[in-house]
């Protein structure tokens, strides 16, 4: 069974605000994310975190709309491509290995320092 993470780890690994990540996951179908309905906390795979991080960069750095960034990130990460044609004579290229190394390092750093909030009632003493 693959390891899953919570949204605070995803936000840290993507270098994004937790509210931005929550809004993204609430309004867009991001691969690698499950749960998040009626009291069930979201579970995000490492692949899901890579999607979130790439969407965040495409949105904040490159200026793509969130919807366009989600579609482009899904296309790039699903196919394993390092570049995507955006139109006639225009393409986007990413250093996939450097991107994945950075996200993995941030995931490991977040796992060591971020503890998920406890859910449910406090235990009786």
Query: For 24, left (φ over 0), alpha (ψ -120 to 50), or beta?
Result: alpha
User: What is the residue-level pLDDT of the chain in tens, covering all 125 positions?
Assistant: 578 888 899 999 999 999 999 999 988 888 888 876 766 678 899 999 999 999 999 999 999 999 999 999 999 988 888 888 888 888 989 999 999 999 999 999 998 888 766 667 777 87
HSE value, Cβ hemisphere, 13 Å, CA-based, for 96: 13
| pLDDT (0 to 100) of residue 47 | 93
| pLDDT (0 to 100) of residue 117 | 66
Query: For 110, left (φ over 0), alpha (ψ -120 to 50), or beta?
Result: alpha
- Architecture field, domain 4-112: Orthogonal Bundle (1.10)
Residue ranges of domains in the chain: 4-112
| pLDDT (0 to 100) of residue 124 | 80
């Amino acid at each position: 069974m693959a390891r899953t993470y919570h949204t605070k780890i995803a936000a840290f690994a993507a270098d994004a605000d937790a509210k931005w990540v929550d809004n993204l996951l609430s309004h867009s179908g991001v691969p690698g994310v499950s749960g998040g309905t009626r009291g069930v906390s979201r579970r995000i795979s490492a692949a899901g975190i890579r999607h979130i991080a790439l969407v965040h960069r495409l949105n904040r750095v490159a200026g793509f709309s969130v919807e366009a960034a989600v579609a482009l990130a899904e296309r790039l990460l699903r196919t394993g491509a390092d570049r995507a044609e955006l139109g006639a004579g225009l393409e986007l290229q990413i250093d996939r290995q450097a991107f994945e190394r950075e996200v993995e390092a941030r995931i490991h750093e977040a796992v060591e320092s971020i503890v998920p909030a406890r859910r449910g009632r406090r235990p009786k003493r």
